[in-house]
Structure formats: C-alpha cells, structure tokens
Amino acid sequence: MARTCDVCHKRTEVGNQITRRGLAKAKGGVGRKITGRSKRTFKPNVQRVKVMVGKTPVRKRVCVKCLKAGLVRKAV
C-alpha cells in the first residue's frame, strides 16, 4: 500500500478543512461562523530508507517519527 509506514502502519487519514468567517467574540465580534467544509487528507512523512533487518540491509518505507524515535536502525 502506498504511503504507509512499515514500522507503525501509519497511513493517509481523511478529515475536513473548515472555512470560517466573522470576528471572534474576544476581539469584539459576534463570533466565528462555519461557512463550509471540504474534504482533505493528512499524509504522513514517509521516506524510503535502507534499514537493518537482522544482519541484512532492506529498503523500507518508514515515517520520520519512527526514524527520530530510533525504532529502526539505518544501514550505513
């Protein structure tokens, strides 16, 4: 599957982009109103990296969060 982390199985999520108008009550307005909702996607930052699996280097798709957390060992 495309854009999926092989370590934590993080993948593309679907959500809404909310459009608002008006001035906030804290700034003296009558409040913010929602004028529209449209679909959008949240994509993880997935990189193709050569990682060590046992003693052999293998190319895998790994998200940057797993790389920074040290869940995989990069092959040199």
- Residue by residue, pLDDT tens for the chain (76 residues) are 689 999 999 999 999 999 999 999 999 999 999 999 999 999 999 999 999 999 999 999 999 999 999 999 999 8
Burial category of 7 from C-beta neighbours within 10 Å (exposed 0-12, middle 13-18, buried 19 and up): middle
List 38's β-bridge partners, or say none: 17
- State pTM to two decimals: 0.73
Sequence spans of domains, the chain:
13-69
List 16's β-bridge partners, or say none: 39
Is residue 50 within 8 Å of residue 75, measured between CB atoms? yes
What is the spatial distance between Cα 35 and Cα 18, in angstroms, rounded to a whole number?
Answer: 8
